[in-house]
Amino acid sequence: MKILSLLTLFFLSVLFFVSEANAAKVEVQWNNPDKYRDINPGDNNRKAFQARVFKNFEKHFSKLAAKLPADQILKININDLDLAGDVHHGGISRIRIVTELFFPRMKFSYQLFNADKTLADSDEINLKDMSFMTGSILRYRNDAFGYDKRMIDNWFNSKFKEQIKH
């Protein structure tokens, strides 16, 4: 039984690495983050919160880029970020309150390069999701940035629907 478990784990890890090796790469650049509309940590440490946000979104863009053909490179230059919700005083603490009034927004440009380094696509994007609280968010129900990620997913899946590997 132990050998079967080890073999299963081995094959799953091989599948994971093969799928990652055949995925597009992503490069994310954060331009002037001190000027972003809302990346307010509330009572948390500003630098630590910002690092957590950046790492979270970079992982998310990598996950999305994995759907694109191998050897492509997706470069994302983020120019502004306004997280879903807004920071308000909640008693003695400053906490993020998420309501319909404070919808997520993101401004960025992207460039998609083919394997031969030729430019396949590029654009300036101004995302906003004013109806972010309607519909299902079950996929990200335990994620602090779920509304923002769903907005990015919707853009990505619409924009790259022809290139997405199935």
How does pLDDT run across 90-147, given as a tens digit for each residue? 666 666 677 777 789 999 999 999 999 999 999 999 999 888 778 766 677 778 788 8
Q: Would you state the structure tokens that stand for residue 156, as one six-digit string? A: 């990505």
Q: According to the model, what pLDDT value does residue 106 have?
A: 95
Mean pLDDT of 48-75: 92
Q: According to the model, what pLDDT value does residue 136 have?
A: 66
Q: According to the model, what pLDDT value does residue 9 have?
A: 39
- Provide the whole-model pTM: 0.77
Indicate left, alpha or beta for 102 from its phi (over 0: left) and psi (-120 to 50: alpha).
beta
Residue 114 CB partners (closer than 8 Å, separation 6+): 71, 72, 120
Residue 69 CB partners (closer than 8 Å, separation 6+): 24, 115, 163, 165
Answer yes or no: is pLDDT of 19 > 70: no
Residue 78 CB partners (closer than 8 Å, separation 6+): 28, 29, 30, 31, 57, 106, 107, 108
Indicate left, alpha or beta for 126 from its phi (over 0: left) and psi (-120 to 50: alpha).
beta
Mean pLDDT of 1-30: 56
Mean pLDDT of 85-90: 70
Supply φ then ψ for residue 27, to 5 degrees.
-125, 125
pLDDT, greater one: 3 or 157? 157
Residue 28 CB partners (closer than 8 Å, separation 6+): 54, 57, 58, 61, 76, 78
Q: According to the model, what pLDDT value does residue 142 have?
A: 76
